[in-house]
Amino acid sequence: MASLLTVLGCMQDQQKSETTSEVSDFSTFYTQFHQDSVFQIEHTLFPLQGIPSNADSVQLLDKTFRWEQEDWEMHRAIPPNSDFSSKLLPVDEALIIEQILHQSGDYAIERRFAKINDKWWLIYYAGLNRVKKSVSSLQ
């Protein structure tokens, strides 16, 4: 599982509604977040809300799970030619949701970044889990 965390990272599919300064500001943060382990720890709100990797049905419903700093594994950029791709979904100027999807469509990771007091933070992390497919996609 630790090796799968190394696929995290690459900025793709930015929404055109973001202003140039917002993109630049987040882009700089995002790059440093994946290159500097101290910066990553300093910009993650521990204990971090989320879902563990390979969660069972009980864990998926448990809203009390938290990632702890002492157990954190560094998130790295998605390497070229990876089976994973990243999509950034800006909710507004202070919240960006990132979906990292496996090319099979069967697995995904979600991260949420928020701008708080003029700094970007990782505020949520759902580890690698199987994606529930809708009935319409099975037809």
Judging by beta carbons within 10 Å of its beta carbon (0-12, 13-18, 19+), is residue 51 exposed, middle or buried?
buried
Confidence of residue 115 (pLDDT cuts 50, 70, 90): very high
Q: What is the pLDDT of residues 27-72, one digit of tens each?
A: 999 999 999 999 999 999 999 999 999 999 888 888 899 999 999 9
How far is the C-alpha of 47 from the C-alpha of 120, rounded, in Å? 16
What is the domain-level CATH number for residue 89?
Answer: 3.10.450.410
pLDDT for position 49: 96
Indicate the number of domains in the chain.
Answer: 1
Residue 11 pLDDT more than 70? Answer: no
| pLDDT score at 57 | 86
Q: What does the buried/exposed string (b/e) look like for 111-139 if buried means 16 or more CB atoms within 10 Å of the residue's CB?
A: bbbbbeeeebbbbbbbbbbeeeeeeeeee
Provide the domain limits for residue 123.
2-138
Task: Report the pLDDT averaged over residues 14-24.
Answer: 47
pLDDT of residue 9: 40
What is the H or E stretch that residue 126 is in? Answer: strand 119-130
Residue 13 has pLDDT above 50, yes or no: no
pLDDT at 138 over 50: no
pLDDT for the residue 135 = 54
